[in-house]
Structure 1
Amino acid sequence: MRVITGEYGGRRLKAVPGESTRPTTDKIKESLFNMIGPYFYGGNCLDLFAGSGGLAIEAVSRGMDKAVLIDKAPAAIKVIQENIAVTKEEEKFKVIRGDAARVIKNLKSEQQVFDLVFLDPPYAKQQIVSQIEALLDNNMLSPEALIVCEVDKKVDLPETIKQAQVYKSAEYGITKIMIYELVSQEEGENE
């Protein structure tokens, strides 16, 4: 695993040991960023199930200003911190150990707003719809925010979750990527 391109391009990243984490392969990561970017002009990124931290680190490498990485597994937190150290810009990252739903509530109280969100939970424990709803209900997404969901290809996520609507999707082997964008009330009514 490595950072593909950008400021940290080519730097090696560690994977979380064991079977509990399923890292996004470099091939899928590159395809995913080609779908959403591939580069950014600032903004804040949230990775709710960070695993090794590879997606958020890639996003900052490609131009995001800051990233918040969340995971509840101690082994993942340790690897995330080691991978962030590889960037030599630890100040651009905030690592939080905890349950996604609880962390969303805490971030709301800090009035955090995100431009890019990654949701790549363990396949068996997905609550993506309720997590997206919580982010929307708590006004934690900028109007231009993108929400990237990585799921098993058998998982059927709705085309629309409140004001978030799928605008791109792709399948890679057993993995499906669904990218939501926010639509204004007027856009939703005009369709």
Structure 2
Amino acid sequence: MRIVAGLYGGRRLLAPKGDATRPTSDRVREALFSILGPLDGLRVLDLFAGSGALGLEALSRGAAHVTFVDDANAAVRAIEANLEALGVPRERVAVQRRDARAVVRAARAARHEYDLVLLDPPYRLAPELGRELSPALAELIAADGRIVCESDRRAPLGLELPLTDERRYGDTLIRIHEPE
């Protein structure tokens, strides 16, 4: 696994040990970030971050700040190791070992806004998360912001928000939402 393009392009990433994390493939990340286009100056929230590959790709492509969220110790250790190996300035990132739903509720209450939210939950959780996260995510997204969901095509993460793009890469389904 590696960063596909940008400032850290070509650099290798560590993934958490075990099978609890399923990193997004280089091919899917490359396609996704081509669809998203320029990310210069964006504030990004990477939920269920795992190795941090999606958020790190966003940083590499110009995002101003990324908040990484995962509740697994192994994932947080991998994110921290990747940040260290890449030499990412600490003021550009925040890493939280917390449940993504709790972070979304807290960010909503604090009226935080993000330009891009990346959601890549464990596939088994995807079907139940959509209804729960949709109202809060709609309030977290800045004007012209987007929410990207990755899930298994057989059990999609169904956010109740306007869908603007949907792509399938093998068994992986990418959906892009742009709340009104």
Give the TM-score range, shorter chain: over 0.9
Larger radius of gyration: 1
Counterparts of residues 61-140 of structure 1 (less than 5 Å)? 61-88=60-87, 89-126=89-126, 127-136=129-138, 139-140=139-140
Please give the TM-score of this superposition, normalised by the length of structure 2.
Answer: 0.92
Asked if structure 2 preserves the Cα contact closer than 8 Å seen for 1:71 and 1:96, the reply is yes
- How many correspondences in the alignment? 177
Asked if structure 1 preserves the Cα contact closer than 8 Å seen for 2:115 and 2:142, the reply is yes
Asked if structure 2 preserves the Cα contact closer than 8 Å seen for 1:119 and 1:128, the reply is no
Instruction: From the superposition, tell whether residues 154 and 9 of structure 1 become closer, same or farther in structure 2 (CA, over 3 Å).
Output: same
Q: Is it true that 1:181 corresponds to 2:178 in the alignment?
A: yes
Cα distance between partner residues in 2 of 1:2 and 1:22: 14
Identical positions, percent: 39
Structure 2 gap ranges (5+): none
Aligned to 1:21: 21
Please give the TM-score of this superposition, normalised by the length of structure 1.
Answer: 0.87
Cα distance between partner residues in 1 of 2:43 and 2:92: 10
- RMSD of aligned alpha carbons: 1.5
In the TM superposition, residue 75 of structure 1 has moved relative to its aligned partner by: 0.5
1:108-127 deviations in Å (ceiling 9; x for gaps): 34432100011110011121
Cα distance between partner residues in 1 of 2:131 and 2:137: 10
Cα distance between partner residues in 2 of 1:15 and 1:92: 21
Cα distance between partner residues in 1 of 2:71 and 2:125: 13
Moved beyond 6 Å, runs of 4+:
none
Cα distance between partner residues in 2 of 1:128 and 1:55: 20
Structure 1 gap ranges (5+): 184-191
